[in-house]
Chain A
C-alpha cells in the first residue's frame, strides 16, 4: 500500500511541474512553447547564465510578469481550496462540505463589496479589496464558531447550521451593498465570479507563505482527523482532544480559505470536487488524502484557469465559471456512479 502512495506522490508532482510549464506557454498572446520554457529557465539561478535571450522584451514581460505569477497563484489557490475542502469534509463528517460551507465566502464577499463601495464613494482606495475580503471572511467564521458553541463544546452539525445562518445574513448585507452602489455592480459581480489575474508577484509573497504554512499544518493533522470520522466520543476514547482539534482545524482551514478568497475571489467547486476525486483514487485516509488533494487541486485550477484565459481569447471568462462547468457535471457523474447498498 505504501509503495502505491509514493507512486501517486511522484505522479502528481510530475504532472504539476509539466502542467505549470505547459500552461505558461499557452495564452492569448501566441508565444511559442519553446520560447516560454526558455524564458522560465533563464530566470533560474544556475541555468539562467547559460541561456542567451533571443526573444522580444515584451514576450519576456508577458511570460514572467503576467503568466507565471498568475499560474503560481492558481497553484496556490487551488491547493489551498482543495486541502481546506478535504479538511472540512473530514471535520464536519459531511461529503457535501466545501471551504465555503461556514459562511466564509459570504463574509469575504461583503468585505470586498464594502471595499469597492467605499472606493467608489471616496474616489480613491480606502481599504484594499484583498485585506477587506480577508477580514470579512475571518469575521464570518468567528461569528459561526461563537454561534455554534455551547459552553465549551461545539457540535459539528451545529457548525453547519450556524454557517447557513451567518452566510444568509452576509448575503443579505451584500445584496444591500450591491443595490446601493449600482455603479459598482459589475466590479463586485466580477470579483464574486473569481479571477486569478490580479496581484502579479507582489500579491503572492506574504499570503503565499502563510497559506503554505497553514496547508502543511493541516496535512500534519491528518491522523487525528481520521479518528474524528468515527465520531467525537470514539475519537476522545482514542486520545484525541476533540474540541482543541476542532478549533485548530477550523482556524487553519478558514485561514487558508480566507486567504484564497481574498486573493482570487470566490472560486467554487475546487474544494468540493477535488477531494472527492482523490478519495476515489486512493481512499479516505487523510494522511494521503490531504497532501495529494493539495497537488491535485493545484493542477485542476491551473488547467481551469488556462481554459478560462484561452477559450474566448482575447476575452477571459472568470475561472469560477470554468470550474463550475467542469465540477458540476463531474459531481453528478460521481453521484450516479455509487453502487446501490
Chain B
C-alpha cells in the first residue's frame, strides 16, 4: 500500500517535472525567436545606411539610380535566397549533400529542413527557429549585395547589378558560409577555420566578387586621364554618406548579435556560429573598440579625410570580426587600427596604381580587410578550440579558408560580369552615363527645387575644375572606336 502510494507520487512528480521542462523549453525557443527577430529589425539599418552612404557618394545626376539598387536588392535576393540560398547553406556544409536530406553529419536532417518545400519554411506552430534563422541569413545576403553595390555606382546597369547581386547573395557567399561558417562545415570540422563574425565569409567574399565585376565594368568616364592618373568625383552630399555609415555601424550591432546562438535549455550559454562558447558582451566590446580603433587609424592614415575616417571604422571592425568572440578588447583596438591603415593604403593603391575605379573603396575596406581578419586570427588566436570537434585554430587552417574562398568568390563575379559585358547588358550607354542615370531611368532630377550648380571634378594635381569639358573629352575618347 505504502509502496504503491510512493510509486504514484513519484510518477506524479515525474510528470510535473516533465511538464515543467517542456514549458521551460518552449519559453527558451520563443526567447530565441524573439532575439533573432530583433536582430533582423536592427540589421535593416545596415541597408538604410548603405542606401544613404552610396546615394551621398553619387553625383546629383545619379542619386536615385544609386539608391534604387539598394532597395531592389531586397526584391531580388529575397526570393532567390528562398529558393536556392538557404538550401545551399543547409545541404552543402560537407562540400555537397553526401547523405541527401539527412545531411550533414553534425546536424542530422538539417539539409531537409532548408528545402523550399519543407515545413521549416512555412507557417509552423511547432518550429520557432527555422524562419528567424532564415531571415537573419537573408539579411546577411542583402549585406553582401550592398557591399558590392557601392563600388559599381554611376555606370552599372541596375538590372545587371540585380543579376549579380542575386548570384552573390543567393549562391556564392552562402556556399562559403556553408563551408566555413557553420558548425558542420568541412573547413570548420576538419581545419578549425575560425571566422566567427564573418570577416571573410561576408565581407571578404563580397569584396573579391566585386573585384571580379569591376575588372569587367571599367572606370567611370573621366575617372582617369590619358596618362592613367586618377581624378576624383565629388559626391553630391558627404554628410549623407557619413550618416549612412553611422547607420551601417548601428546595424552592425544587430549583425554581430545575429552571429550568436542562445537556447538555454540546450546549452549553458551563448555560442558562436561554430557551437563554441562565448558571450554577447565579448563581441559587443570588440565591435565597439573596433570602431574606436578604426576611426583612429582611418583618421591618421588618410590625414583627416572624413570619408576615409569613417570607412576606417568599418575596416577596423571587419578586421577584428573573425576573432571577435575571443579577442581581448585592447588587442582588438590595436588590430582595428592596423586594419584601417591597411584599408586606406590599399584603397589608394587600387585606385591610383591598379586603376580600378571602386567608387566607395569596397574592395579595400571589405575585401582586403575581410581576408586580413581571418589572417589575424591565425596569428593571434592559434590553438583556440573551434567548433564541435574542438579543432584548434591554426594559421594553416585559416590559410585553407582563404585559399578556398578567394577563387570561389572572385571567379563567379568575374565570369558573370564578363557574360553580361559580352551581351552589352553590364554598363549603361556612355551618353546616358554622361547625362546622368536618373534622367534615363526615372525621367527627373531628384532635387527639383535646388539650383543646379556646375559639376566639379578634382584633377590629379588636386585642382577642382568644372567637369563638363573634361567628361566630354573623356566621352569622345571612350566612343572614338565605335564612331570611326
A complexed with B:
no
Partner-A contacts on B (CB < 8 A): none
Partner-B contacts on A (CB < 8 A): none
